[in-house]
Structures are given as C-alpha cells and as structure tokens.
C-alpha cells in the first residue's frame, strides 16, 4: 500500500471505529432488553446530561479551537487547553456518579480509558515543553521526541472525539445491540467515512494546496488509495460466510468491488502525474455509489425514502465534483507576483457544494440505521421532516469545520506574510550590487522587474537568494510549519532574483 494513505481523516476514523466496534461489539449486548436493546428502567438524569454537556463542550469546541491556537503558537493555547482539561475531569466524575440509567460495560466506556490516557499524555507533554529545560541546561535531549508526540496527539484529538461522541450516542440511545450490531456497524463507519472525506476535501481546497504540491502527486491519488483500501475491506466483510446470501449482502459486496476496481484505476492514472493533473475517477465512483444507494431496496417505505435522500446527496456530490474539475480546475497560467500572495487559485463558491453534499450524505447514512428509523416511525415522524433535520446537522458540521479553518487562516495570515522574512535586502549587499534607487530594491523581494531578467548582476542575485534560503533553513519554520516553508521557498524560486541566470564560476587559472 502506498505510503500516506492513512493520512486522510476518513481513513483514520474508519480504522478506529472498526477496531472499537469489532472488539467491543459483544459487550454492548449485555444486560439489555427490548426491541432496541436499551434499558428503560431508569431515565437519564440531570447529572448525566451535565456529563454530556461538559464533554461535548470540551471535545467539540475548546480542544479543536485550542489545537488551532497551538498550531499558530498563540498565547491563549495553554489557558484554553487547561480549561478543557478541567471540563473533562469534571465531566468524567459526573458520568460515573450519576443516579440515572445504568449502562454497564460498552465500547464508549472502554474507549474512554484510551481517550483519558491520550489526554493525560498530551497534557504531560505540553507541561514538559512549557518548562523549556533547554534554556536552563543548554540542552534537552528529550525535547525532539516529546514535541512531535504533543503535536500529533493534538491533531488526533478531534478524530478521537468524533469516535467517542458517536459511541456515547450509541450507548445512550441503546442502539446497535444484538442482531442490529452488523447493520449499525456498516452505517456508522461508512457514514463517518463520507463525513471526513468531505472534511478532507475542504482542507485540501482551503489549506493543503502547497502541501499537496510538495508531495508531487495529484490530490485524487490519495482519494483513490483510500477508496481502493476501503473497497477491498468491504468486499470481504459485508457477507457472513457461514450464512445464506441476502440482497443486502449482494448490494454491499458489489459496492465494495466497485470501489476497489475504480480505486485501482484511479491509483494507476495518478501514480506518476504532477500535482496539477486531476482525475475524475473518485468522482465517478461517488456518482455510481449514489445512484446504487438511491435505488437500494428497503423493508419499509420510510427507510426507502431516507436511503433515496442519501443516494441523491452522494449523486449530487459526484456530479458537482466532476463539474468543478471540468470548469474550475484549470492549469495555472502564471504564478502570483505579489509578496505573500497565495500560490493557489482563488476558491469559487461552487467548489464548496461537493464538500457539503459529501458531509450531508455521511450524516444521512449514519442516521438511516434500522433502529433510528423504527423509533421515528413509532413517534409518527415523516421522512421529509427527518431529512431536513439531518440537513441541519450537516450544516452545523460544515460550519464547525469551516470555522476552524477560517480561524487558522486568520491567525496565520500575518505569519504567512513574507515581510517577516525580509531580513536581508538587496541594499544590504556590498556595492555595487545594491542599487538603492531601484524601485524594487530595499527590504522587499524584487517582484515584477521592469525588464524580463533580473536587474541585478548574477552574483548579487545568487548571494541574495542563497542568503534567504539559509535563513529559512536555519529558522524553526521547517520544523514547526512545513507548509509555510514550502510557500516561502516557492515564492523565492519564482521571484525574479530566484530566476536570475547563474553565471558560470571562473576557475583560478581563468581568473
């Protein structure tokens, strides 16, 4: 399997949920009764609701915002994360000392131990880094190892929180017990994959352009690899081999075959292509999946209509993605010339549509499990009202993801301004290579010169460019923010000074 396929959030969430539900599936069936399997002898009391509120506030708001603040090294990162830790501690005790419904051992309870262990390790690493022992003892051999642990645990916090929240919902609702475990497993894992696939597309659209270019591959390469892996898994897990085949087994297995076959084509098409080369294969796979799921036969009319909404959302996502690739994704005719300008083309409003419909389709599919729909029919709800409610939930998820990205861009924008790296200008070079009267000289990069070539002698251009590269290499930018380092280097390479022809060096005899 090519390296990096697990870097997509959808792959990480899928792997985590699959491992948890498979290993703890038998536990959730213990001590429950009724058609949904949930205990009804006790209601959910105020203490347990406070547990939900405190944990939701910590993992749904404070920790994601604190992670963004940590990435940009904001001064409020530590105080905000400390508040989140306090909420988690209080919420933990509220969840264990309430007087309401008793849930027993479940995947939510088991996974909470890992969540708390990860939180303790994350907090401990943060406290250690905050001590700055290298300033006291001149050397800290543990810091290079602890720093990446703290960084990647922070980035995984949001994914871990998503899994734990879903497991908490399953435990509280009493779903996914006994015979319902298999279909519940499929709905929540597949739905989470679509939601996080949409988040990944949003991240690629808004922030990851330079990072993807630095990898030297098409964005659809990573999509195709994830689709290929998921298709192989689906092909061999949707049918219980000691039982007779059903129409659902055939439908889901056929979908798995579609995914690995199409994913294989996508991988081959984008294997050796440049980052600017795009592929429609992932979009076609999404389109065919949506058409198939829209025609997915169900036992009740309510379920059939909800699955039709799900299939329609996937179909719209695939069609609009194809339109985006045809109309909006064109080869860039030139690089930006303004200092600090983005290397990515401006985002068009239309490009957000496939992202949203992917997130909507995932939310809709998670909400279409058998027990949820049976409960809604018992309440007398209609499919249209339920679908609108799920659309509202998808909008909220989109709002959270987009808000975190916009917060990062807003806080990072001043740091991405190349003015902070304008330490050495052409005027700082020894005469006669520093003309102070040139309109592009001084403390700015000489973008867009009046002539087609750099107005400065090649030796000056070479010395100037090498000086800036040395500054960028020696700074902490490479270690702390590779994306910014890529932007800086690409800007320098495309500047007129960076493009200046290099004069051959003379040997001692020629001199």
pLDDT in tens, 453-494: 444 444 444 444 454 444 444 444 444 555 555 555 555 555
Domain boundary among 364, 394, 416: 416
**102 pLDDT higher than 70:** no
CB 423 within 8 A of CB 473: no
pLDDT band at 227 (very low <50, low <70, confident <90, very high): very high
Within this chain, do residues 455 and 350 fall inside the same structural domain, yes or no?
no
Nearest to 12, CA basis, from 237, 222, 208: 222
Between the CA of residue 142 and those of 133, 153, 482, 504, what are the distances in Å? 10, 17, 22, 45
Global pTM? Answer: 0.72
pLDDT band at 507 (very low <50, low <70, confident <90, very high): low
Q: What is the pLDDT of residues 282-295, one digit of tens each?
A: 999 999 999 998 88
Work out the percent of the chain whose per-residue pLDDT is above 70.
Answer: 67
Domain boundary among 353, 385, 416: 416
Q: What is the pLDDT of residues 103-129, one digit of tens each?
A: 667 788 888 889 999 999 999 999 998
Structure tokens at 364: 């809709």
Within this chain, do residues 425 and 488 fall inside the same structural domain, yes or no?
yes
Within this chain, do residues 24 and 111 fall inside the same structural domain, yes or no?
yes
CB 65 within 8 A of CB 400: no
Output the average pLDDT for the chain: 75
Q: With respect to residue 506, please indicate whether it lies within any of the assigned structural domains.
A: no
Q: With respect to residue 399, please indicate whether it lies within any of the assigned structural domains.
A: yes
Q: Indicate the DSSP class of residue 58.
A: I
Half-sphere exposure of 149 (CA within 13 A, CB side): 17
Q: What is the pLDDT of residue 330?
A: 62
Angle at 78 between CA 76 and CA 83, to 5 degrees: 95
Within this chain, do residues 351 and 480 fall inside the same structural domain, yes or no?
no
Number of domains in the chain: 2
Q: With respect to residue 60, please indicate whether it lies within any of the assigned structural domains.
A: no
Cis peptide before 432 (omega within 30 of 0): yes
Higher pLDDT, 224 or 448: 224
Region for residue 31 given its phi and psi (left: phi exceeds 0; alpha: psi -120 to 50; beta: otherwise): left
Q: What is the pLDDT of residues 170-211, one digit of tens each?
A: 888 878 877 777 778 878 888 999 999 999 999 988 887 777
Domain that holds residue 225: 5-38+103-416
Q: With respect to residue 389, please indicate whether it lies within any of the assigned structural domains.
A: yes
Within this chain, do residues 450 and 317 fall inside the same structural domain, yes or no?
no
How large is the average pLDDT for residues 73-83?
Answer: 93
Half-sphere exposure of 260 (CA within 13 A, CB side): 14
Helices 301-323, 281-294: axis angle to 10 degrees equals: 160
Q: With respect to residue 271, please indicate whether it lies within any of the assigned structural domains.
A: yes
Nearest to 498, CA basis, from 507, 511, 508, 488: 488
Within this chain, do residues 248 and 343 fall inside the same structural domain, yes or no?
yes
Domain boundary among 398, 416, 434: 416
């Amino acid at each position: 399997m090519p390296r990096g396929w697990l870097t997509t959030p959808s792959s990480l969430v899928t792997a985590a949920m699959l491992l948890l539900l498979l290993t703890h599936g038998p536990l959730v069936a213990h001590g429950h009764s009724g058609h949904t399997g949930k205990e009804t002898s006790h209601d959910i009391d105020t203490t347990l609701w406070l547990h939900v509120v405190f944990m939701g506030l910590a993992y749904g708001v404070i920790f994601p915002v604190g992670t963004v603040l940590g990435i940009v090294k904001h001064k409020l990162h530590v105080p905000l994360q400390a508040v989140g830790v306090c909420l988690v501690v209080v919420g933990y005790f509220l969840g264990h000392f309430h007087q309401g419904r008793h849930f027993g051992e479940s995947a939510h309870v088991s996974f909470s131990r890992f969540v708390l262990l990860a939180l303790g390790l994350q907090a401990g690493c943060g406290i250690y880094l905050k001590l700055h022992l290298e300033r006291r003892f001149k050397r800290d051999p543990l810091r290079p190892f602890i720093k990446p642990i703290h960084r990647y645990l922070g980035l995984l916090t949001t994914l871990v929180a998503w899994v734990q929240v879903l497991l908490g919902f399953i435990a509280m609702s009493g779903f996914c017990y006994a015979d319902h475990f298999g279909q519940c497993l499929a709905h929540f894992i597949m739905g989470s994959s679509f939601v996080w696939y949409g988040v990944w597309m949003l991240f690629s659209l808004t922030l990851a352009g330079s990072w993807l270019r630095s990898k030297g591959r098409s964005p659809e390469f990573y999509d195709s690899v994830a689709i290929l892996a998921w298709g192989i898994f689906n092909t061999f897990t949707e049918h219980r081999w000691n039982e007779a085949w059903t129409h659902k087994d055939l439908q889901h297995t056929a979908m798995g075959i579609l995914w690995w076959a199409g994913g294989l084509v996508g991988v081959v098409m984008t294997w050796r292509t440049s980052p600017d080369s795009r592929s429609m294969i992932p979009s076609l796979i999404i389109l065919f999946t949506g058409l198939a799921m829209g025609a997915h036969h169900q036992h009740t009319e309510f379920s059939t209509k909800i699955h039709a909404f799900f299939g329609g959302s996937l179909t719209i996502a695939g069609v609009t993605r194809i339109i985006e690739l045809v109309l909006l994704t064109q080869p860039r005719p030139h690089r930006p010339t303004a200092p600090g300008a983005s290397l990515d083309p401006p985002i068009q409003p239309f490009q957000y549509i496939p992202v949203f419909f992917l997130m909507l389709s995932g939310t809709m599919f998670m909400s279409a499990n058998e027990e949820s729909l049976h409960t809604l029919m018992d309440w007398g709800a209609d499919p249209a009202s339920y679908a609108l409610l799920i659309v509202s939930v998808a909008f909220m998820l989109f709002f959270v993801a987009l808000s975190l990205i916009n917060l990062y861009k807003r806080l990072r924008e001043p740091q991405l301004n190349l003015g902070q790296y304008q330490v050495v200008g052409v005027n700082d070079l020894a005469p006669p290579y520093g003309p102070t009267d040139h309109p592009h000289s001084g403390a700015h990069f000489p973008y867009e010169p009046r002539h087609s070539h750099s107005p400065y002698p090649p030796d000056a251009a070479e010395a100037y460019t090498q000086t800036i590269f040395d500054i960028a290499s020696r700074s902490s930018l490479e270690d702390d923010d590779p994306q910014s380092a890529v932007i800086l280097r690409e800007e320098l390479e495309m500047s007129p000074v960076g493009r200046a022809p290099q004069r051959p060096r003379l040997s001692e005899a020629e001199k």
